Chains A and B, each alone.
Chain A
């Protein structure tokens, strides 16, 4: 049983560019949540997708958007990248109350 997978593992972008991160949930899970983890900090909730709709959203600007596909996989898009967007982006999937995390995508904005 494959766990949560994310791609790519690392990414380098420049300010102003756009980026798309991808997540495949654990088999049987229907909900995907995205978190941003700055260096030395705990993860911060970005948003959550269920049944292809954004169900909850944290305190992140509209530059952060997402999508969930019929197979429950998900994408996180960030537009107009800022230096401060450099972080580890974690995807978590769940069926009930426990979230299981993927390995993350390390984004560096130069």
Chain B
């Protein structure tokens, strides 16, 4: 069974600085999807970025980028120019390509990011 591990329960960053959140996963599959979701105190889970395992190029979305190391099974999220609104729980998630076209997500336990003004 696949597992997702986020080893940093809490992280802190100064406003305008850069922070990296770590995620590792375990799978025997060669093709899969990886996601980062953000959950602010309002609790709505918001998609931040996604990565297809077959793509070697790291995904980027504005200030958010990932470092995808397939051999190491690592998927870290880098937030540049951190803003106060980035403060939230961040969840890393894995999705198998199997189980139909709509496989379920497997989440890590999350990293709580604080942004200091």
Contact = CB atoms under 8 A, between A and B. Distances in A.
A83 B93 CA distance: 27
The contact size tier of chain B is: 20 to 34
B117 interface: no
Interface centre among A35, A42, A48, A104 (most CB of B within 10 A): A42
The contact size tier of chain A is: 20 to 34
Given A98-B50, A103-B43, A33 B107 contact: no
A101 B109 CA distance: 17
A6 B50 CA distance: 24
A56 B47 contact: no
B84 interface: no
Nearest to B95: A97
A45 B104 CA distance: 7
A101 B44 contact: yes
A95 B35 CA distance: 16
19 contacts: A31-B102, A42-B109, A42-B110, A43-B91, A45-B105, A45-B106, A50-B100, A55-B99, A55-B102, A56-B99, A88-B43, A90-B45, A94-B102, A97-B33, A97-B95, A98-B33, A99-B95, A99-B105, A101-B45
Interface of A: 31, 33, 35, 40-45, 48, 50, 55-56, 58, 88, 90, 92, 94, 96-104, 106
